[in-house]
Structure 1
Amino acid sequence: MSDDPAIVDCLIVGGGPAGLTAALYLKRFRRSVLVVDGGESRAAWIPESHNIPFFSHGISGKEILAREREHAARYDVVAETGRVTDVRKSEGGFRATIESPNGAAREVAARRVVLATGAVDVEPDLPDVPDAVRRGLVRYCPICDGYEAIGKRVAVIARGDRGVGEAIFIRRTYSDDVTLLTLGEQLDLEPGQEEDLREKGVTIVPEPVVGLDHEGDAIGAMRTAQQELHFDILYSALGLRYRSELALALGARHDERKALWVDEHCQTSVKGLYAIGDVVIGLDQIVVGMGQAAFAATHIHNRCEYPTEDE
């Protein structure tokens, strides 16, 4: 066993709000923790959030991450930059391969693993504006910031069966002026659903957008072949790609979108493997991910073996 890597109580994959919260809890439980972060937290895209408790004047996603890193560092938690390329079961827990930015790889052993790998928004294909969501020109969470859309002209980019529910949610909660933009793609509507949308005051624009103008941190106008459209706020509702590959390779239970199922302790169907944050089936919110981190970390501490004398 002398050639084996040193074993840690918990490997946390992902250094976003959920992952760092789990690390903080575990370190305060006096557990050994390794955090590996690829530097692609979805939270970093948030221009300013007003629904995080204690920050009544708003806080950006980057500031949330910076404050959490500083807090965790007080307990010697440092998120190592790298990518976990595989996780596999082994005697005593798991083994994982970590690839550093320079391409070097090493193996680590952990009694438990927490996946806080998150998800990636499917970006709309808008002319002349790559990475519209990342740049803050397009929003993606009306639950987070729909309050700031009260009484404004709102558009929702939709495709297939995505977006209709979001448009109705915004219409019934925040604004009387809501438009569904399909960007020339097909909407999968149930019989009578289009008429129901129009009765609810939701306008549908099926034509592709051929051009747009953006002014600072907002899109000023969108042009189709037939008209020029003006909105105050633009949301994309094209769905998420879940970063659940590590769990799927271990046979973890998931839904049709590959979001992970977890129990009341945030443990997946693979014993010892936990998942928290946006990669989990449920409501994608920072405070939800932090709560899941507390559940997972406490369960890990109460169920995790103590180090052996050799260790």
Structure 2
Amino acid sequence: MSEEPCYDCLVIGGGPAGLTAAIYLTRYHLSIRVVDAGKSRASLIPCTHNHAGYPGGISGKELIARMTEQAQMYGAAIVAGRVTRLDRIDGGFRAEWGEGSVMARTVLLATGVTNRRPPMDEDLHDAALAKGLIRYCPVCDGYEVTDKRIGVIGSGGRGVAEAVFLRGFTADITLIAPDRAHELDADDQARLTEFGIEAVDGPCQAVAAHDECIVVDTPEGHYTFDSVYPALGSDAHVELAQQVGATLKEGVLVVDSHQRTSVPGLYAAGDVVLGLDQISHAMGEGGVAATTIRNDLAKERPILRERLSGSIRAKASEGA
């Protein structure tokens, strides 16, 4: 175990939060390792138009690629793998994945979430997602469905809330129960009626995805939409946090205002933390977490940059 490398910080997850933190941490001259399972939800976005600085939009894959390149430019070591084990040890943590293990003084969990998918063939789902026929984030792309026919797959308070939110972009909204008849209380039913949202009982299944529409089959017949929003929730990747005893709430990690979890030396940022599931928000949390990690480490051991040697300073002076 003593032969394993020991880093100032291990970043688990290579999405917007993890990569932002990696950029900050390397620019703080800290030694880091990023282990990424390659499952970032951001990489599935065909094109985002609400990320500041990209007026024409940018795909999730391209954004991740650019951020990866930037982190590596400053010396971040990024490896592919899924961390399956995290333990607390003297002086920090030890993490294991398929092809390796490391020790680190601190760990940043940027492991994200996985959306629960609607009932449909997996290949059909992926093809529809790439075409914008299935969308998971009305905050991100509600503008893109302005005045279009929209189906929301969900029920109960969550489904009604998403349907009402999307009602701000289009008047043509249908709420479809995913696996059985709707179970709506009087308040939810009243909201649907008030906003002119049709409710259709399930079970449902998306059966076809054409170039510009998606077809959903229900007991009441076929429905054709320009886009479908699954309102089925998501599952946060908190297994590693649970292994070291971090506090959870509503299935996600609890952190303070500086991204510290309940476990000393363990930090979290992005969708694995309760908050607005947005790229910009995740990036902001990544920057806050990285700065907190740097400052917390400095309390234990001052972070001091060595002076340049005389010969190096002389050469620098000559070059000037």
Q: When the two structures are superposed, what TM-score results if normalisation uses the length of structure 2?
A: 0.87
Match of 1:283 in 2: 276
CA distance in 2: counterparts of 1:210 and 1:28, whole angstroms: 48
Aligned ranges for residues 75-154 of structure 1 at < 5 Å?
A: 75-100=74-99, 106-126=100-120, 130-132=124-126, 135=130, 136-154=132-150
* Identical amino acids, percent of aligned pairs: 44
Return 126-135 or 75-84, whichever deviates more. Answer: 126-135
Change (3 A) 1:192 1:292: closer
Number of the residue aligned with 2:163: 167
- Give the SS at the match of 1:108: strand
| Other-structure match for 1:255 | 249
Residues 33-44 of structure 1 mapped to structure 2, 5 A cutoff: 33-44=32-43
Secondary structure, aligned partner of 1:267: coil
CA shift in 2, pair 1:130/1:193, >3 Å: same
Question: Which segment is superposed worse, 71-80 or 60-69?
Answer: 71-80
Larger radius of gyration: 2
Q: Counterpart of 2:281 in structure 1: which amino acid?
A: V
CA RMSD after TM alignment: 2.1
- TM normalised by structure 1 equals 0.90
* Structure 1 position 5 matched with structure 2 position 1: no
Residue pairs, 1:213-292, within 5 angstroms: 213-216=208-211, 218-256=212-250, 258-292=251-285
Match of 1:103 in 2: none
Cα-to-partner distance string for 1:245-264 (whole Å, 9 max, x where unaligned): 100121211123x2111101
CA shift digits 1:207-263 (9 cap, x unpaired): 3336633113x543333343332211211110001101100121211123x211110
Name structure 2 gaps, 5 residues minimum: 304-320
Partner of 1:177: 172
Q: 8 Å contact 1:212–1:219 — kept in the other structure?
A: no
Letter in 1 for 2:135: R
Rate the CA distance shift 1:211–1:60 in 2: closer, same or farther, 3 A. closer
Q: Please give the alpha-carbon distance, in whole angstroms, between the structure 1 residues aligned to 2:122 and 2:97.
A: 37
- 8 A contact 2:10–2:33 mirrored in 1: yes
Deviates more, 1:225-234 or 1:117-126: 225-234
User: Secondary structure at the residue paired with 1:213?
Assistant: strand
Distance in 1 separating the partners of 2:220 and 2:143: 31
SS in structure 1 opposite 2:252?
Answer: coil
Question: How many angstroms does 1:45 deviate by?
Answer: 0.7
1:53 and 1:211, CA in 2 relative to 1: closer, same or farther beyond 3 A?
closer
**2:221 maps to amino acid:** Q
8 Å contact 1:14–1:35 — kept in the other structure? yes
> Is residue 28 of structure 1 aligned with residue 27 of structure 2?
yes
Return the offset for 1:134. 5.2
Q: 1:96 to 1:215 in 2, by over 3 A?
A: same
